[in-house]
A = this chain, B = another copy of it.
Amino acid sequence: MRLETAIGRIRGSGYKVTPQRLAVLEAVAADQHQSMGELRRRCPGVGVVTVYRTLDLFSELGVVRRIDLGEGARYEMAEDHHHHLICEDCGKVDEFELCPLDPEQMPQVGAGFEVRSHSLEVYGKCAECR
């Protein structure tokens, strides 16, 4: 998602566009899959509480996505649908586009369950660690 689009989404949803929100937004945009610590380091002027609150807000607005792989949450800009490739040795996270889920098959997974989204993580050993 482009920064302008994200800013439009914030303002369009009735939220103020503050310097802090812009700083956090740019921090997230700087790199995918960052941890809270990395994000904080990228916007030193912004208070912890605000970083937490802002990421929560952005998640709700669909501007950023939160990824949970043990060892604390990570955040990424909401981009095209993709999944993650996680190296169990060095911890590097990569992405891949190919989505093996067939939406046609989804209704089968649980009777009466309304599917909204899904996340898929593939664990293993990356090329460098082999």
**A interface vs B, CB < 8 Å?**
66, 68-70, 73, 85, 87-88, 94, 96, 98, 100-102, 105-106, 108-127, 130
Given A68-B68, A100-B100, A113-B127, A118-B122 contact (CB < 8 Å): yes
Chain B CB within 10 A, most for which of A112, A115, A122, A123 = A122
Which 9 residue pairs spanning A and B have beta carbons closest together? Answer: A112-B127, A116-B124, A114-B125, A115-B124, A118-B122, A96-B109, A68-B70, A68-B68, A114-B124
Residues in chain B near residue A123, CB distance under 8 A: 115-119
Cα(A110)–Cα(B125), bound, Å: 11
Residues in chain B near residue A101, CB distance under 8 A: 100, 120
11 A/B residue pairs, CB under 8 Å, sorted by A = A68-B70, A70-B73, A85-B113, A98-B109, A100-B105, A110-B126, A110-B127, A114-B124, A118-B123, A119-B121, A119-B123
